[in-house]
A = this chain, B = another copy of it.
Amino acid sequence: MRYFEDFKPGESVQLGSHTITRDEIIAFGRQFDPQPFHVDEEAARATIFGGLIASGWHTGSLIMRLFCDGVIGDTASLGSPGIDEMRWLKPVRPGDTLSLRMTVTDCVPSRSKPDRGIIRTLLELSNQRGEVVVSIKGMNLIRRRPA
C-alpha cells in the first residue's frame, strides 16, 4: 500500500496501455456524448475530423482507469477534489493504442487534516506514435503513513 510519503515531486512513471476499439468509441458516445463524430462512422467522415474519434470524456475516463490500475488501486486514496486542467490535444481514433505516463508535480501535507496530504500529477496519454493526445493536471488526497 502506497501512502502520501511515498510520492515525490519529479517521479515520472510509465503506466499501462489500452487499445481503443470502434465499438467502445460508439458505445461511450451513445451513452454520454452523441455528437456525430463520436457515434456515426459515415457522418463522422463529413466532419472536420474526417472519421470517428473518441469523446474526450471517454479518453479522460480511460486515463482514470489506467491511473487506477497503475497507482491509485494500491494507494491509500481519499478521493479527489477535482482536476485543474484537461487538454484534448489530438484526435483518438479506433485501433489507437493509448499509454499513460504519470509525473508527480507537487506533494503538500494538509494544514487542517494531519492524516492526509494532496499530490498533484501531470497525466499524459500518448498514442502508438508517441504523440500526447490528452493531458490532465490532477489532484489526489492521500492518507499519510500511519505512525
Residues of B within 8 A of A85 (CB): 82-85
Copies of this chain, tallied across the complex? 2
Contact of A34 among B35, B62, B68 (CB under 8 A): B68
Instruction: Report, as a range, how many residues of chain A touch the other chain.
Output: 20 to 34
A17 CB to nearest B CB, Å: 15
Interface string of A6-21 (1 = CB under 8 A from B): 0000000000000000
A69 CB to nearest B CB, Å: 8
Binding-face segment, A70-78, A94-102, A104-112, A117-125? A70-78
Q: Give CA–CA (A84, B58) in the complex, Å.
A: 17
Residues of B within 8 A of A73 (CB): 34-35
Interface string of A27-49 (1 = CB under 8 A from B): 01001111101000000000011
**A interface residues, Cβ below 8 angstroms from B:** 28, 31-35, 37, 48-49, 55-58, 60-62, 64-65, 68, 72-73, 77-88
